[in-house]
Amino acid sequence: MRDQYYEQLDAIVDDLVNLTGTVRRAVADATKALLEADAQIAESVIAGDKDIDEATEIIEERALLLLATQQPVATDLRQLVATLRMLTDLQRMGDLSVHVAKVARRRMPDSAVPEHLHPTITAMAAVADSMIDSASRIVADRNVDAAGQLENEDDEMDRLRKDLLRSLLGDSWTYGVEPAVDLALLGRYYERIGDHAVSMARRVVYLVTGQLS
């Protein structure tokens, strides 16, 4: 019976890692829709959020069932608690990808991002993608050292957002208030995606060490 229990526990972690990949693709697709003003991709991201929510609920139910029936202690308990909290992070990252796609859709057929800011948004999306990928590998490998390194990527995301805000507030901004608001929100969305990736990594530190960072 215990062998089956540990198989179920491992399967939950595997599904969590797979869900991280799904969320990563949603963020990448939302960015593509944003920069290319692609309505079809934007709609796909928005519709796909239902699948992320459903997958989250399934994993959550399985984790709660193990908590209720197996009464785990020590590392196993931390694993399940960390999983439940990481599911929340992933669900919110999925929601943020939808927010990006909705900004893209709102400005179509034009791009919501002026051409000269494409490099900044592209860089923010690349950092977000790297952070999600790092979080996935940290969860899979329980790599505490890599969790600490993720904080450096978060600093880069913060720097990029500040650069974006400076562009919006500068004298050279000629696109009006609404586009500026959209871009300020986009900067916040990517920053929050990064924050949730860091949160996942910190859950792994808690899992391995038993200490909250």
CA atoms 101, 107, 109, 114: torsion sign:
negative
Cα separation, 190 vs 137, whole angstroms: 20
CA distances from 134 to 75, 99, 104, 148, 175 (A): 22, 23, 26, 11, 36
Token representation of residue 57? 């609920």
Mean pLDDT over each residue of the chain, to the nearest integer: 93
CATH 1.10.3720.10 fits 2-206, yes or no: no
Within 8 A by CB and 6+ apart from 78, the residues are 206, 207, 210
Per-position pLDDT tens, the chain of length 213: 567 888 999 999 999 999 999 999 999 999 999 999 999 999 999 999 999 999 999 999 999 999 998 888 888 888 999 999 999 999 999 999 999 999 999 999 999 999 999 999 999 999 999 999 999 999 999 888 888 888 889 999 999 999 999 999 988 899 999 999 999 999 999 999 999 999 999 999 888 887 666
Helix residue ranges per DSSP H, the chain: 2-36, 39-70, 74-107, 118-141, 144-169, 177-209
Cα separation, 161 vs 71, whole angstroms: 44
* pLDDT, position 193: 98
* pLDDT, position 98: 98
Burial class (CB in 10 A: 0-12, 13-18, 19+), 165: middle
Cα separation, 95 vs 23, whole angstroms: 9
* pLDDT, position 144: 85
Domain boundaries, given as residue ranges, for the chain: 2-206
* pLDDT, position 88: 97
Per the confidence metrics, is the pTM higher than 0.85?
Answer: yes
